[in-house]
Each structure stands twice: as structure tokens, then as C-alpha cells.
Structure 1
């Protein structure tokens, strides 16, 4: 039998020295951001200050232990303990957390969470192999090293699991509101395999649904509302030499619009025509856009003085084109995250809706941004439960996991559909793992209509919804699903 090279544990040890030193130095160089990322964790937010120093110190200490022959085996066991804890934590975040925070510096910041899990698992296997090879030189029987390795993994994992299960999940808490679930308000009747999970709804016009694609922003996909035929249009820009970050598509009536608010530009094209033309350039930067008609828009932009969000109208025929309304979005904490929300503008309504993400409020406005009504969702979150910090470069970042109240929204006529992120009183935890809740509100007056569930696909909830007078359309994983409205909802559209 070929003898195993005794230098393998040394090589493995130096690999972890490089890994831990690089990770620790990377965290130190961007320490402020590292602390913020830790504070966003569902598990670590309460201990972010202590852990930010402890993790860096432990990584340096383990690196020192691995450098010397006398302490190398201790360093390997310490590496196994740390990597086991990291691995089970990432597994729990991916599979059991309702809130997935940012990654935490160093090499990990360049990887997605799934890649983190794979990388850490390989590291655990590698360090176990190093320990076994190292210990085999002392004694041919490996029972004791195997027991030590198993115990280290189990203890580290158990500590993380106990902390995770006992941590205060922001979204898992029951709230003091009670939903009224409607009796079979929607019925799934058809689905279409889209082959990709990167689509979003660009709009509904006539008998067609229009889809944009985040990975192919110049493709406009048309699906008939019967979900029978699909056509793809490749869009050509009249001028395209801009450093776009995220081009978005919207369809309104017989036109489609392409824009990227980080570049102050809006294109417009006619449905069926591949060429889009610039209709607005250098008029305004924006983070969201609602299309009123071909020349009039409502945008959400940021103040050049304090970088807080505000609403504005962009009317291309007028001089000046841009009119700012800094007082509409009411600041509670930072004027950025606390006023975050989503526009909805139904083709069957003259009102623009702005639904706050982190508080239970909906603004109903006319096309000139006059507030018509301030409506409320049924939960009790009147003040945004967020913690933010302004960094030295002027940007704002979350410093703790937020309480996200409202998710994806869609509207039609005088009804607003909201994917809720809060579990109400007496609701089944088992059902919340299987399905997502949609709440329905009237927008012409303060009235909660009721709620219903949309089944998840495996562990994945739907990502986008769209509505017309007959159907609710849902994008979930790689599928477009159609649900027929039944009497509890359809009566509002008839």
C-alpha cells in the first residue's frame, strides 16, 4: 500500500492560513461594511459588535496555530470547528431563514450563498482529511481522531442550530392582526413553462402579457393571455453607448419603454417594432418610474443634498420638465429605506399608488401627485422597524434585519393585491412554509377585502404578479401560472 505523504497536513494547514488571513485582512480593510453585514444577519444582529471583532481575532489566532508544528493539530481542529459552524449557518440561512442577509466580506463576498455552502463543505472535508493523515502518523487506529472530528462538527453545528432556533425571527413573530381568508377566490387553470426564472412582468395590454428578462434586457417576450403562443422581440436602441446597470422594460397601451434610472434616459418604441428611440435624456436620474402616457411620467428620485428619496413628475413637453415633491414621502428614520416602496399604476384607473415596503401605508395619488387618500394595510407597523447607518461616502445601508411588511404588489381598477411578509394571529406555520399570502385592499376607500394563499413551488414563492379583469398571473421559478378570479374577487371588476 502506497504511503501517504506526511506533508499533506502541512499543505492543508498553510491553505487555511492563507484563507483565514485573507478573510481577516479583507474584513479589516472594510470593517464598517463588515459590521453592517453581520448586523443584517437573522442570527447575529444582536451580537454584531462583539462578533465582528471576535471572528477576525479567531481567524488570526487559528492562522498562527497552523504555522507551528507543535500547535498545528490544534489549529486543524479549530479550523474544523470554525468551518463547520460557518457551513451549518449558511445551510440554515438558505433553507430556514425568511431573510437572507448580505455575505460577510473577504472571499465570501464574491460568492453567492449556495457557492458559500459548497466552498465551506469542501473546506470541512479537506480539514478532516488533514487531521486524519496527521493523526495516523502517531497511531494506526483512527477511532479517536474520528470521534474528535465528529464531536467537533456536532458541537459546532449544535451551537449554531440552538442559536438559530432561539433567535428572534422578525418575520416569524405572530402579529396582533387577524386575516380573513376568502373562500376559494382564485382557481389555478393553466401554466406555461418559460424555461428561465429571470422574467418579470413588463405589462398587460389587450390580450397579451409582456415579459422582460433581467439577464437579457433587450428581449421583450409576448405571451397571449390564453398562454398558448409566445413571441420574442429583440429591441434595438437608437443610442446605446451608456454604462447601463439594469435596463427595465414597461408596456403601456401600444408602446413599450426601456429605461435605466442610473442613466438619465428613457426610450420608447411601438409594439411590434424592434427600434426604440430616445425621448428623454439627462432630464432626471431615478430609481422607479410609472408611465402616465407617452410624454408624462412619475418617478422616484433622490435629493442631491441629502440623498433622500422623493417623488417627482417628468413632463416632457413642459419647461421645466421636472417638478420635485419632497414632502410626499414622509421620513421617519433616514428618508431612504424608511420611505422605500413600489409604484403601481393600473391601466383601468386614473390613480397612482405607492405602497411602502416597511410600514403599513399606501398612498393613492392623482397624476399630478396630489394625495387623494392615505390607506393602511391590516398589520400594525405604522413606524418602519429598520436600523440604518449612513456611511462615510454618503450612502445608507441596513444595520439590522428589517421588518419587511409589503412585498410584490399589483393593482387593477380599485383593488390592490399585496404579497404580505407578515404572519397574522392564529395562522398555520406549516401553511406559511407551503404557500405565500396575498392580501387584497380597495383603493377607492379604506377597506380590507380578504386574503388567499398561492402555493409555493417546492420552497420557492412567486416572484411577480400581474392582474387583469379575469385573471391573476404569477411568475414562480420557470413557470407562468394563470389563476382565474372567482366571485369573491371578480364581483369588484364586473
Structure 2
């Protein structure tokens, strides 16, 4: 028995050699996937680049040290400390992370997180046992061995905890363009076929979603949340003898608005009624518009004096009807192309949002037209990469295709879903061909929550999407798809959110 106990430390040492050699070689052979897994870790995302190399180097170095009898004890100390780090990492994943990622890769890829935790604890115990058995052969080293074991393992545990805390802060508040793909924060649960693929979201009222149509701009389509009943109505304006260029439709229940800012004209009608009256004609030119109530709007227009894009209020009941707020959009180059973006609206409470297309920023705007928050997306393009050529008449034009950062935004409560156009660190180009990437942000403070994919269907990509309090609705080709929210989105939507008005539209 005594002889067997003397052999046991050597057996444990060679076990660690096999374990770390196999693990490190597996990581090297599938290094890109290993980095991607680390990037999706809820604990170490911000350090995926450094840690992916450090872990492999450590495992190979420890294996090498364990091969030699003179340095074997040092190798077992290091092995035990490393396994303690892996153990606390899994413990934090299971108990303190926002989500639990899939248990992928490594020597025990068939095991789940709990099984991994048990295996790691056994390895830590084996390391302790090996060192204690060696120390008992030389009694004067026993206390020192115990002190080194305890101190190295505590240090490794504290290091992982530190990395976890700092990584979370970096990912959420100072992200270095490392996306964290959440496990199914939305789940597709129902599909409705539409008659063609030219629809876009025009709003909702808490029970129905409303669709506009690019091919038939005077058609208002209503679909209930259960995607069972579709009704269509042809809008009949009181005057239509205009040269329309971009006739669009929006719903803010109980009204719908048909408009073209190039004419410019705004029609208003009541949902359910075909007849729409002209409420504004040649009073304000605009490129985008969001209704705030039955007669007031926030618009994006061109300042005639500066020839720069500007956000303005437009109220048909006031004089002057339009008021410019030039401070909202910040000029970087020409004040037109560099400030281009999407004017949208968030509900609960209802407030305008502006998403820049060519830089990593979006704005929340209050009812006094003050910028409430300037928030950044996780990519690193803080200055619009647009090349501008000045014309002899004072106008500007792009001399090269710009680098587009953000494509679209939808928001509800304190959450925003932004469709990104840029690939982050450790992301697969193949995935970008198959899906659109949605990044989730807080709108009340600077915080990135995570990302998810909306995958193409029948070789068609998502064309539009909208958020409500209950569902994410998506249009792909001629399909209207409903998604249910899951954690952590449900937590964020329910946290501190007042009950929404069921008869108010979104966007």
C-alpha cells in the first residue's frame, strides 16, 4: 500500500501531462473556434484574444515542466492552480453570469457545465493529494507545501474573479468590439405568409401591427399579434395630384399618417377609415418624420442657411410651425453625409431616437428636443468614414462609398435593437453571409447587453423589424415572423418598466 502511494504522485503528474497536452493541441488545431468560444464567454469576453494564447502556452509549459522529476512538484502546483481557475470559472458561469453559454470544445466536449465542474474539482483534489503525499515523505516541507498550495490556488481564483468583474465592465461599458452572442434571447414562434415582399412596419397599437407597402403606398395592412387575421385598406387622400417620390405610411393609434416630405404633404386619417385629409402642404420639407401626436411631429430636414441636416419640431397648430434644433446632430465633415442616419421612436415612454449610419453613436431625445443621452455602439468607428467632394454650387457629394456602421434600430422601454453592418472580433465571415446581426443596448445608460442572429430564410435576408412589449416582429422576404422574448431581454423589459398604454403605436 505504501509503495502504491509513493507511485501515485507520478501517476497524477502524467495524467496532467496527458490532459494539458491533449487540451492544448485540440485548441491549436481549432484555434479560431476556441477564440470564438472565449469571445462568447459571459466572463472573459473582453480578454478573449490574450487568454486564448495564454491558456495554450500555460498548458504546454506545465506539461513540459511535469516531464522532469526535479521540476515535477512545480508543475503540479501550477496544474492545481490552473484547474482551480477553471473550476471557479465554471462556478461563476453557473451562478453569476447573465446567461450560460453552450458547453463546447475541449477534452470533455460531451459533458455539460455541471459535469465539467465535478471533473475539475476531482483534478484539483488529485493535485492536492499528490503534493501532500510528496510532502509527507519530508516532514519539514509539509507546512511550506500546504502554504504554497493554498496561496497559489487562492491567487488563481482571485485572478479569475478579477478578470470576470473587469471583463463585464469592459464589455458592457467600454467594449473593444467583441460581441457576445446570447443563447436564444428571442425565439421564433409563429410565421405568416404575406402576398409579396415589399412590406415594412408602420406601427402597432398593443394588439395589432400595421404594415406599409413600398409597391402600394396607399395600402394599410393590419395584422393581429397572433398573426391570424390580416385586413387591408386602400387609403383615399382628399387630394393626390402631386409628384410623389417617397410616399410613406405611419400609424400612431387612432391615426395613420400618409406623407411625402419631398412634396411636401402630410395626410391624416383614422384607423378603419379610408378617407385621409391633408393636414399640411408645402409647409415643411423633410426626409424623415415621426408623429408625436395627432398634429405634431419630429422631422429630419435640411437647414437652408447651413445646408446641413437638422432635427426639427413640426406642429401644424403652432406659429411658426417648424423649429430647428441644430445642436442635436453633430457635424464631422459636411454635416450631411456624415450626419446621415435613421430617425426612429421608442415606446414606454414614447421618445425620438436618432441612429447615425456611419459612426458608432445613437441619441435619445426628450420632448423639449434636448439630447437626453449620447450612447455608443460597440464598434470603433467614432468618426464617419465618408469622402466628400464640394460642388461649385455649394452642394456636396460622396466621392467614394462610405463605411456603413449601423443599418436599422427599433426600441421599446429601455432597450434598443440595432442591426449592425460591421463584423466584430473573432466573428466568422460565413455567419455574416447567413444572418443579420442584432446588437442589444440600453437606452437609459451606456451598456451593451449582447447580440443575436436573425438568420436568412430561403436565401432572403431580414428587411425590417419592430419591437413591442411582448414580441419582436421581423419581415424576411414575404414572411412575417413573430419572436418571443426570453432571458435576459424579459428581465430588462420588465425591470422598472411602467405598464404600457395598449393603444399606442411604436414606429
Q: What range is the shorter-chain TM-score in? A: 0.5 to 0.7
Which structure: larger Rg? 2
* Structure 1 residue aligned with 2:26: none
* Structure 1 residue aligned with 2:359: 359
**1:267-313: CA deviation from partner (whole Å, max 9, x where unpaired):** 11000000011112222000000111111111110122343211110
How many Å separate the matches in 2 of 1:279 and 1:395?
31
CA displacement at 1:397 relative to structure 2: 2.8
CA displacement at 1:458 relative to structure 2: 4.1
CA displacement at 1:395 relative to structure 2: 4.3
1:442 counterpart = 2:442: yes
The 3 A distance-change label for structure 1 pair 269 and 452 is same
* Structure 1 residue aligned with 2:287: 287
* Structure 2 residue aligned with 1:166: none
**1:179-227: CA deviation from partner (whole Å, max 9, x where unpaired):** 1111210111111111211111011113111111111011001111111
Q: Secondary structure at the match of 2:472?
A: strand
* Structure 1 residue aligned with 2:432: 432
How many Å separate the matches in 2 of 1:376 and 1:200?
26
* Structure 2 residue aligned with 1:421: 421
How many Å separate the matches in 2 of 1:301 and 1:390?
20
Alignment of 1:86-97 (within 5 A): none
1:491 counterpart = 2:491: yes
CA displacement at 1:457 relative to structure 2: 2.0
1:479 counterpart = 2:442: no
Backbone CA RMSD of aligned residues: 1.5
1:258 counterpart = 2:258: yes
C-alpha contact (below 8 Å) 2:347/2:411 kept by paired residues = no
* Structure 1 residue aligned with 2:467: 467
The 3 A distance-change label for structure 1 pair 394 and 233 is farther
Alignment of 1:32-71 (within 5 A): none
Given the two structures, how large is their TM-score scaled by the length of structure 2?
Answer: 0.61
Q: Secondary structure at the match of 1:492?
A: helix
Q: Secondary structure at the match of 2:344?
A: strand
* Structure 2 residue aligned with 1:389: 389
C-alpha contact (below 8 Å) 1:266/1:279 kept by paired residues = yes
C-alpha contact (below 8 Å) 1:469/1:490 kept by paired residues = no
C-alpha contact (below 8 Å) 1:217/1:248 kept by paired residues = yes
Given the two structures, how large is their TM-score scaled by the length of structure 1?
Answer: 0.63
C-alpha contact (below 8 Å) 2:358/2:404 kept by paired residues = yes
* Structure 2 residue aligned with 1:369: 369
* Structure 1 residue aligned with 2:199: 199
CA displacement at 1:351 relative to structure 2: 2.4
**1:8-62: CA deviation from partner (whole Å, max 9, x where unpaired):** xxxxxxxxxxxxxxxxxxxxxxxxxxxxxxxxxxxxxxxxxxxxxxxxxxxxxxx
* Structure 1 residue aligned with 2:330: 330
CA displacement at 1:402 relative to structure 2: 1.2
CA displacement at 1:388 relative to structure 2: 2.2
How many residue pairs end up in the alignment? 320
Q: Which moved more, 1:348-357 or 1:249-258?
A: 348-357
CA displacement at 1:258 relative to structure 2: 0.6
Q: Secondary structure at the match of 1:463?
A: strand
Alignment of 1:35-434 (within 5 A): 177-392=177-392, 394-434=394-434
How many Å separate the matches in 1 of 2:348 and 2:488?
19
CA displacement at 1:319 relative to structure 2: 1.3
Q: Secondary structure at the match of 1:337?
A: coil
CA displacement at 1:393 relative to structure 2: 5.2
CA displacement at 1:404 relative to structure 2: 0.6
How many Å separate the matches in 1 of 2:258 and 2:185?
35
Q: Secondary structure at the match of 1:493?
A: helix
Q: Secondary structure at the match of 2:488?
A: helix
Q: Structure 1: where are the runs of 5+ without partners? A: 1-174
How many Å separate the matches in 1 of 2:322 and 2:279?
14
Q: Secondary structure at the match of 2:433?
A: helix
How many Å separate the matches in 1 of 2:392 and 2:217?
33
* Structure 2 residue aligned with 1:48: none
Q: Structure 2: where are the runs of 5+ without partners? A: 1-174, 495-507
C-alpha contact (below 8 Å) 1:433/1:459 kept by paired residues = no
How many Å separate the matches in 2 of 1:179 and 1:477?
27
Q: Secondary structure at the match of 1:262?
A: coil
How many Å separate the matches in 2 of 1:392 and 1:237?
40
* Structure 1 residue aligned with 2:94: none
* Structure 2 residue aligned with 1:129: none
C-alpha contact (below 8 Å) 1:350/1:366 kept by paired residues = no
